[in-house]
Amino acid sequence: MMVDIQAILAATDFSPHAEQAVARAALLAQQHKATLHLLHVLPTISWKMFGQMLSEHPLVTEK
């Protein structure tokens, strides 16, 4: 029984190992005609800066 893969989530920290994982995820997504979602988690301090930017410039951030 084949599983119908519709979406793939790949997390990355932009390291060489993560780059290989993202490339593999992209290949799988292409083979299965699935949507590929990439996730990068920011450190806490970056979230504070992001939150400040979001509140000061909501339209720019949305783009």
pLDDT at 21: 94
Residue 51 lies in a domain: yes
Tokens of 13: 């920290």
Place of tokens 């979001």: 54
Tell me the C-alpha distance between 59 and 45, whole Å.
22
Residue 27 has pLDDT above 90, yes or no: yes
For the chain, the domain total comes to 1
pLDDT of residue 57: 66
Q: What's the confidence (pLDDT) of residue 50?
A: 72
Residue 31 within any structural domain of the chain: yes
Looking at the domain assignment, is residue 53 inside a domain?
A: yes
Q: Is residue 1 part of a domain?
A: no
| Residue 37: both structure tokens together | 């979602």
Across 11-48, b (16+ Cβ under 10 Å) vs e yields: eeeeeeeeeeebeebeeebeebeeebeeeeeeeeeeee
Domain that holds residue 46: 7-62
Rg of the chain taking only CA atoms, in angstroms: 16
Judged against a pLDDT cut of 60, whether residue 63 lies above it is answered with no
Q: What is the mean pLDDT of residues 28-35?
A: 96
